[in-house]
Amino acid sequence: MQMKIDKFTNVKKAMDDMVFALKKEQADEVKQKDFCVEEFRKNQLQTEDKTRPDAQRFLLTLTVTHVTHHFCSGS
């Protein structure tokens, strides 16, 4: 009977060790995902900051062209 209890104890310890390892792996993956999401957000903001002046310049050029055409054509 003692041998069966020892085997069960060993199996239970192995299962506990696996659960602990899986929980640690899950925590590491969550940390990695959070890091990636934050880096993606930073990259997106930097990209928007770089492209915003181009869009503003384009709209300003369009407006100036429209106003110039409007006043120069006599309309």
Instruction: Quickly list DSSP for 31-58.
Output: HHHHHHHHHHHHHHHHHHHHHHHHHHHH
**Which structural domain range is residue 55 located in?**
23-75
The structural domain count of the chain equals 1
pLDDT at residue 73 tops 80: no
How many H helices and E strands in the chain? Answer: 1, 0
pLDDT tops 70 at residue 69: yes
Average the pLDDT over 21-47 and give the result: 95
3-class DSSP state of 10: helix
Residue 14 lies in a domain: no
Please indicate whether residue 60 or residue 43 has the higher confidence score (pLDDT): 43
Residue 12 lies in a domain: no
| Confidence bin at 42 (pLDDT 50/70/90) | very high
State the pLDDT at residue 67. Answer: 79
Residue 28 lies in a domain: yes
- Give domain status of residue 11, yes or no: no
Do the domain assignments include residue 63? Answer: yes
